Amino acid sequence: MCTVTYLPLGNNNFILTSNRDESPIRTTIPPKKYDENGVELTFPKDELAGGTWIGLSEKNRLVCLLNGGFTKHERNKYYRLSRGVIVKEILISNDAVAFITDYDFVDIEPFTIVLVDWNTSLQTFELVWDGTQKHFKQLTQEPHIWSSSTLYTEEMKQSRKNWFADWLSEQVDFQQANILEFHQDETKGDVGTSLKMKRPFVETVSVTSVIKENYLVKMTYKDLLV
């Protein structure tokens, strides 16, 4: 839930890939289908909180979460709802844009969400909740990279943008295998800042990638701890 890339493929197709940087002792259930209020969702589940950081909905929608807003925040003692539950609520909503516009995020820990919707045409949105204010905008259909503010400084974020730009310059076209390789790169930066990172209490535990090619939408999950 801490490094995300988005690659538009043209013709309403895309690849979105997410690294989960988390405590290696926190258990994850690999992706499977769930019925949530009558809506079929596919997502890996955080066993502790019951939510997820990335999910697909039969409503032609993908939601991906990163912890933190624009900057690193001081954690409060109390939050009324897990951020991973918000992901599921957006996935099952009838109109994701209206849901986000109307929703009150007060007393929820800061987060960033990438929303991809292809009900009519492909639309991609970024939602940042900074703990006080909601920042919601539609994105251009261009490659994007996000790094979680809770783990990465502005300097680290910029380094990752540079690595991504270098990677983009080497691609003739976008292939899922190549972006998965990028997300598992341990050679850039150092052990604590590389794309596949490792620190004393947190490391990249998995990579999840979703590709949409016409009517086929597929989620690929790699557990990096096995």
Quick one: pLDDT at residue 51? 86
For range 145-154, the mean pLDDT:
96
Band (pLDDT 50/70/90 cuts) for residue 71 is confident
Predicted confidence at residue 29, as pLDDT, reads 96
Please tell me what DSSP assigns to residue 214.
T
pTM (2 d.p.): 0.96
Q: In percent, how much of the chain has pLDDT > 90?
A: 89
Q: Of 69, 82, 223, which is closest to residue 146 (Cα–Cα)?
A: 69
The pLDDT, as a whole number, for residue 132 is: 93
Q: Provide the pLDDT for residue 215.
A: 94
* Residue for token pair 């289908």: 33
Residue range 30-57, pLDDT digits in tens: 999 999 999 999 999 998 888 899 999 9
pLDDT surpasses 80 at 1: no
For residue 198, what is the DSSP state? B
Spatial contact of 92 and 65, defined as CB atoms under 8 Å apart: no
Provide the 10 A C-beta neighbour count for residue 162. 12
Mean pLDDT of the chain: 95
User: Taking the domains of the chain in order of start, what are their residue ranges?
Assistant: 3-223
User: pLDDT at position 37, please?
Assistant: 96
DSSP 38-60: TEEEEEEEETTTS--SEEEETTT
Contact 9, 213 (CB under 8 A): yes
Q: Which CATH class is domain 3-223?
A: alpha beta
pLDDT at 63 over 80: yes
pLDDT of residue 72: 83
Encoded amino acid at 54, one letter = I
